[in-house]
């Protein structure tokens, strides 16, 4: 026997082969045609499978694909000329795509990013009145701030911040404290204001016990006065040498800035929510310190260094970000479902979950977390596969009789918004791929975050799931929220002339996996309770 066959984890009438290459065909079971395409493979762990029974027109069946006007995956694979519909079919697999099922540490909100300390360690350090370095980006384009609790400020700590920082010492404060102390903003906020920019108030010095206000001792006294709940507006001179900053409600979940990160961390310690922060400067040339410089500084002074990204994940795991607002019966063209509406507590965005059947104990639930795509889902855009993926997910869940589709709004264009997406389309028409277009516009390649989707699934009662996705980032993004992804169901839709380059780019540049993951552990792909049984049955049917 050159290879073994295994039953598909969702549909028992489909076999999946575990070898890298396929010199033979599968056995036929229950009248379902399962066809091997000789000497072709989607990637090193996937074969193309023809299915002609379950009523999923978007699967690889002859009727829906072979005669497609713009060509299809099936038609190209059967073409004896040897031409492939696009390069990803024979492309080299990058390391990111080889092992879809990552370790349990990946995606865990309590597990720090590589090269950073944990949020828990930072909190313990801050409680002791010590300094922590907070970094706003884990790449080269980075800014690091020294932060500490304002209520623990000392002249020694202020001197360290001035020596290693920009010389400007800021204090992050909530709006209610700024209003109590009558500290107005330097410039009024407007609707056109850059939400990414820090919001300074007028500068201050403490009146009592200070001289010029510029010394480390004077600055420490001013910081302590700002952190005290007993201070009043008459306790300060204006202007001064300390720069209060307005904290935006919601913290890093609304704005991933240093002001919000510093106040969030202090709040998590249980101390008064007032922070001290100063940007770290490289003394060699006066520029913003690089990540290697920040790491060296942290090592020399035994200072924990954490990322805002990790803080966001830490908070998302622990705080309820959505509330259920409505439930309704929803008849659809696929069948009868229940619809659940959820509202984000952060920005008011409404999301919807479509539920089929009784979730019961929440084990082994078929799940699709779908990002909003107005052009693809509603208008049937041929530029992407989003609408086809949503349609297929609904079909598969209806067929399974139990499952959930979570539809996340605000994810348009992988999080860049509708207008930016249309501008990116214009760049794609000029020759850019989807990744290059986003970069050209100065936007993130993928700005989506799946924590809200995870919280919706938890509220519905899902505990373990088989996730319908080709995107490893979605798999990782749902971990660590009391959910376990026990398997992945590929979402394979037709490849057309319009979307083939888009799919190729997702495959080669974004790590998407088209096909199963059987080169990894089988236990990660199929239900563990039936893994052994299905494996033995599959081998007995292999020809």
Look at residue 422 in the predicted model and tell me its pLDDT.
Answer: 86
Instruction: Give the separation between CA 356 and CA 352, rounded to whole angstroms.
Output: 13
Section 469-482 average pLDDT: 67
The answer to whether the pTM exceeds 0.85 is no
Write out the two tokens for 515: 């096909």
pLDDT at 14 over 80: no
SS3 content of the chain, % helix, strand, coil (to 5): 35, 20, 45
Look at residue 510 in the predicted model and tell me its pLDDT.
Answer: 61
In three-state form (DSSP H/G/I as H, E/B as E, the rest C), the secondary structure along 134-151 is: EECCCCCCCCEEEEEEHH
Instruction: Give the separation between CA 388 and CA 503, rounded to whole angstroms.
Output: 13
Q: Which helix (H) or strand (E) holds 464?
A: strand 464-468
Contact 145, 134 (CB under 8 A): yes
- Domains of the chain by range and CATH? 119-316 (3.90.870.10), 320-521 (3.40.50.10990)
Q: Between the ranges 38-47, 242-251, 434-443, 508-517, where is the mean pLDDT highest?
A: 242-251
Report, as residue numbers or ranges, the catalytic residues.
446, 448
Instruction: Give the separation between CA 26 and CA 365, rounded to whole angstroms.
Output: 28
Least confident of 55-69, 181-195, 257-271, 449-463: 55-69
pLDDT at 165 over 70: yes
Least confident of 109-123, 355-369, 415-429, 513-527: 513-527
Instruction: Give the separation between CA 229 and CA 225, rounded to whole angstroms.
Output: 8
Contact 140, 290 (CB under 8 A): yes
Contact 165, 279 (CB under 8 A): yes
Q: Between the ranges 246-250, 414-418, 481-485, where is the mean pLDDT highest?
A: 246-250
Instruction: Give the separation between CA 412 and CA 429, rounded to whole angstroms.
Output: 19
pLDDT at 236 over 90: yes
């Amino acid at each position: 026997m050159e290879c073994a066959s295994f039953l598909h984890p969702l549909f028992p009438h489909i076999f999946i082969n575990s070898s890298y290459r396929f010199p033979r065909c599968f056995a036929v079971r229950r009248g379902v045609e399962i066809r091997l395409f000789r000497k072709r493979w989607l990637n090193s762990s996937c074969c193309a499978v023809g299915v002609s029974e379950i009523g999923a027109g978007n699967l690889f069946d002859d009727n829906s694909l072979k005669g497609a006007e713009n060509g299809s995956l099936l038609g190209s694979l059967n073409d004896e000329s040897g031409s492939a519909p696009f390069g990803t079919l024979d492309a080299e697999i990058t390391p990111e795509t080889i092992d879809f099922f990552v370790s349990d540490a990946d995606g865990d909100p309590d597990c720090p990013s590589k090269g950073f300390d944990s949020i828990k360690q930072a909190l313990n350090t801050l409680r002791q009145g010590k300094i922590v370095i907070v970094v706003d980006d884990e790449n080269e384009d980075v800014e690091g701030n020294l932060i500490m609790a304002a209520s623990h400020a000392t002249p020694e700590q202020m001197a360290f911040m001035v020596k290693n920082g920009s010389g400007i010492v800021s204090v992050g404060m909530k709006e209610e404290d700024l209003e109590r102390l009558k500290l107005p903003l330097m410039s009024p906020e407007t609707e056109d204001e850059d939400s990414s920019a820090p919001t300074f108030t007028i500068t201050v010095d403490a009146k009592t016990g200070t001289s010029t206000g510029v010394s480390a001792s004077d600055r420490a006294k001013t910081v302590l006065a700002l952190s005290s709940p007993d201070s009043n507006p008459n306790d300060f001179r204006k202007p001064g040498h300390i720069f209060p900053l307005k904290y935006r409600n919601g913290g890093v979940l609304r704005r991933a800035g240093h002001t919000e990160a510093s106040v969030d961390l202090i709040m998590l310690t249980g101390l008064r929510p007032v922070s001290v922060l100063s940007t770290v400067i490289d003394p060699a040339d006066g520029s913003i310190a690089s990540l290697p410089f920040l790491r060296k500084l942290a090592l020399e002074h035994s200072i924990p260094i954490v990322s805002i990204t990790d803080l966001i994940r830490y908070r998302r795991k622990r705080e309820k970000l959505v509330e259920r607002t409505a439930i309704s019966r929803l008849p659809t063209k696929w069948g009868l479902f229940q619809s659940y509406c959820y509202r984000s507590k952060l920005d008011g965005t409404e999301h919807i979950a479509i539920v089929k059947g009784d979730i019961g104990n929440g084990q082994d639930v078929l799940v699709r977390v779908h990002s909003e795509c107005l052009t693809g889902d509603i208008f049937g855009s041929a530029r992407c596969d989003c609408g086809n993926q949503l349609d297929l997910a609904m079909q598969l869940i209806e067929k399974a009789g139990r499952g959930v589709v979570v539809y996340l709004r605000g994810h348009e264009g992988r999080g860049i918004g509708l207008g930016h997406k249309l501008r990116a389309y214009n760049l794609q028409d000029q020759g850019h791929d989807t990744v290059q277009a986003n970069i050209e516009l100065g936007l993130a390649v993928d700005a989506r975050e799946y924590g809200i989707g995870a919280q919706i699934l938890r509220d519905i009662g899902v505990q373990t799931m088989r996730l319908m996705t080709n995107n490893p980032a979605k798999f990782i993004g749902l971990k660590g929220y009391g959910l376990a992804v026990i398997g992945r169901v590929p979402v394979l839709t037709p490849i057309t002339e319009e979307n083939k380059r888009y799919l190729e780019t997702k495959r080669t540049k974004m790590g998407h996996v088209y096909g199963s993951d059987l080169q990894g552990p089988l236990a990660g792909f199929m239900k563990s309770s039936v893994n052994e049984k299905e494996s033995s049955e599959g081998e007995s049917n292999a020809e």
